[in-house]
């Protein structure tokens, strides 16, 4: 049994208005009186009419779709951030297409090419690496891009991050105030600007007080690799030379580090080893972890990302923006609390 598709002309006839009035009612931002909008929407509901978004996009040149590219969702910070991004865009009458990509530049190039085929109005790339010419191809297609929680050296690429370097310095100051002497660092993926800046700030903070990094391993932002890094850094064969504190480049890895220290190596947190992470992902506050961490101000980062992207869509010639938003150190129970400091 075939379904008869209701047209805007039929809605216009039922509502007693012009077909262009129907079009304006279903076009975000278009000017239409409240009375006309009510009549059209009532007629549309009675007839079972749904506007053809793709057809409207062909006429207007705007799809009102935003491509959202993310490298992975295992890190608990990203599902929350992506939900905030999607809601913020939907509140502005944009639809969101989510695409998964790997951390490497070659893969995201293919994903972005596919997004351009969908005629998206803009792209948000969350924690993915870009090739040098990708931004130019997007500009040539008239599609602005904003990086979320990752920056790029190109001054023509807009990016929004937390102030990762400042966050790393805060961790160094906290651990030194707690009188730790042998401080380690477990790095994330070394191709990430977030990893680079967090480590740089951390090392700067240590050096400012005449302390060198005692140990370093790489966990690549993955829990299993963080586990292996922990086993190496705290190898019992090191004896008293093992670290008494470790800064982990994100919470996703820090949870694995804590589990490994406690359940595989028999070490107490924080009595034997202090652990500090970065992100303040939801599990960080769970009693089982009670993780001291640097909070990424996700809501503010999302708000600024959406603001920059929509501004670029409306006014393509405006300059790129690089925004770093400061986040606080949240003191909990996974690290020795220095005298004069308090939880929370």
CATH number (domain holding residue 215): 3.40.50.2300
Number of domains in the chain: 3
- pLDDT at 334 > cutoff 50: yes
Mean pLDDT of the chain: 89
Could you give the C-alpha distances from 31 to 23, 34, 37, 125, in angstroms and in order? 11, 10, 10, 33
Rounded to two decimals, the pTM is 0.81
- Are 100 and 16 part of one and the same domain? no
Shared domain for 254 and 312, answered yes or no, is no
Give dist(CA 267, CA 235) in Å, integer: 11
CB-side neighbour CA atoms (13 Å) of 95: 12
pLDDT category, 50, cuts 50, 70, 90? confident
- Please report, for the domain that includes residue 3, its CATH number: 1.10.260
What confidence score (pLDDT) does residue 1 get?
A: 43
- The predicted pLDDT at position 2 comes to 47
Q: Beta partners for 248?
A: 186
Q: Select the more confidently predicted residue: 199 or 27.
A: 199
Which one, of 85, 319, 276, lies nearest residue 174 by Cα? 276
Tell me, yes or no, whether 309 lies in a domain.
yes
Directed axis angle between helix 193-207 and helix 164-177, to 10°? 40
pLDDT at 285 over 60: yes
Instruction: Determine which of 36-45, 72-81, 134-143 has the lowest per-residue pLDDT on average.
Output: 134-143
Q: Is residue 338 part of a domain?
A: no
Question: Which H, E and C letters describe 168-215, residue by residue?
Answer: HHHHHHHHHHCCCCCEEEEECCCCCHHHHHHHHHHHHHHHCCCCCCCE
Kindly state whether residue 52 falls inside one of the protein's structural domains.
no
DSSP states of 35-100: HHHHHHHHHHHHHT----HHHHHHHHS---EEEEEES-S-STHHHHHHHHHHHHHHHTT-EEEEEE
- Specify if 115 maps to a domain: yes
- Residues 123, 1 within the same domain: no
Q: 271-303 burial, b if ≥16 CB within 10 A, otherwise e? A: eebbbbbbbbbebbeeeebbbbbbbbbbeebbb
- Distance (Å, rounded) from C-alpha 107 to C-alpha 130? 9
Q: Are residues 281 and 132 in the same domain?
A: no
Q: Are residue 132 and residue 170 in the same domain, yes or no?
A: no
Q: Flag whether 132 is in a domain.
A: yes
User: Can you give the pLDDT at residue 53?
Assistant: 60
Please tell me whether residues 172 and 92 are part of one structural domain. no
Residue 155: per-residue pLDDT: 77
- What's the pLDDT at 106? 52
Query: 5 and 152 share a domain?
Result: no
Q: CB neighbours of 45 closer than 8 A, spacing ≥ 6?
A: none
pLDDT greater at residue 157 or residue 188 = 188
Q: Assess whether pLDDT exceeds 80 at residue 206.
A: yes
Residue 246 has pLDDT above 60, yes or no: yes
Is residue 137 over pLDDT 90?
no
Q: DSSP assignment of 253-284, as one string?
A: HHHHHHHIIIIIT---TTTT-EEEEEE--GGG
Alpha-carbon torsion angle 159, 160, 166, 172, nearest 10: -100
Would you say residue 25 lies in a domain?
Answer: yes
Are 242 and 137 within one domain?
Answer: no
The lowest-confidence range among 58-72, 271-285, 327-341 is: 58-72
> How is the beta sheet containing 274-279 ordered, strand by strand?
215-218, 183-187, 245-248, 274-279, 292-295, 329-330
Average pLDDT over residues 30-42: 89
Could you list the residue range(s) of the whole structural domain that residue 38 is in?
1-46
Q: How far apart are CA 198 and CA 221, in angstroms?
A: 13
The two three-digit tokens of residue 135, written as one number: 């931004």
Q: Are 158 and 230 members of one domain?
A: no
> Of 281, 296, 311, which residue sits at a domain end?
296
Q: Range with the lowest mean pLDDT among 17-31, 85-99, 127-141?
A: 127-141
To the nearest whole percent, how much of the chain has pLDDT over 90?
A: 61
Cis peptide before 270 (omega within 30 of 0): yes
Task: Report if residue 266 sits inside a domain.
Answer: yes
Same domain, 35 and 77: no
103 or 269, which is more confident?
A: 269
Asked if the structure places residue 56 within a domain, the reply is no
What's the CA angle centered on 259, arms 258 and 265, to 5 degrees? 90
Q: Does residue 145 share a domain with residue 86?
A: yes
Q: Is the pLDDT of residue 58 over 60?
A: no
Instruction: Tell me: do 39 and 135 sit in the same domain.
Output: no
141 pLDDT more than 90: no
- Res. 78 pLDDT band, cuts 50 70 90: confident
Instruction: Report the distance separating Cα 163 and Cα 324, nearest Å.
Output: 5
């Amino acid at each position: 049994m075939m379904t008869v598709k209701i047209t805007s002309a039929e809605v216009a006839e039922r509502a007693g208005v012009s077909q262009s009035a129907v079009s304006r009612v279903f076009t975000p931002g278009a000017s239409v009186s409240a009375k006309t909008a009510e009549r059209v929407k009532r007629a549309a509901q009675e007839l079972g009419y749904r506007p053809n978004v793709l057809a409207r996009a062909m006429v207007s040149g705007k799809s009102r779709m935003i491509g959202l590219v993310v490298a992975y969702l295992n890190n608990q910070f990203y599902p929350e951030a992506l939900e905030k991004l999607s809601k913020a865009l939907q509140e502005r009458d944009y639809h969101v297409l989510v695409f998964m990509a790997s951390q490497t530049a070659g893969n995201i190039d293919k994903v972005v090419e596919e997004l351009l085929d969908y005629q998206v109005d803009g792209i948000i790339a969350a924690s993915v690496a870009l090739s040098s010419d990708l931004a130019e191809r997007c500009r040539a297609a008239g599609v602005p891009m904003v990086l979320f929680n990752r920056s790029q050296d190109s001054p023509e690429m807009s990016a929004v991050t937390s102030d990762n370097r400042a966050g790393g310095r805060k961790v160094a100051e906290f651990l030194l105030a707690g009188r730790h002497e042998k401080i380690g660092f477990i790095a994330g993926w070394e191709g990430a600007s977030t990893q680079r800046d967090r480590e740089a700030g951390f090392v700067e903070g240590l050096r400012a007080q005449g302390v060198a990094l005692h140990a370093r391993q790489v966990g690549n932002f993955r829990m299993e690799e963080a586990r292996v890094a922990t086993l190496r850094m705290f190898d019992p064969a090191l004896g008293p030379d093992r670290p008494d504190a470790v800064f982990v480049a994100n919470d996703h890895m820090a949870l694995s580090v804590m589990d490994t220290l406690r359940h595989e190596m028999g070490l107490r947190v924080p009595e034997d080893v202090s652990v500090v992470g970065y992100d303040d992902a939801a599990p960080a506050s769970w009693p089982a972890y009670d993780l001291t961490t640097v909070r990424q101000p996700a809501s503010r980062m999302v708000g600024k990302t959406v603001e920059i992207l929509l501004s670029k869509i409306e006014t393509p010639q405006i300059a790129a923006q690089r925004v770093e938003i400061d986040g606080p150190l949240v003191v909990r129970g996974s690290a020795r609390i220095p005298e004069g400091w308090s939880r929370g």
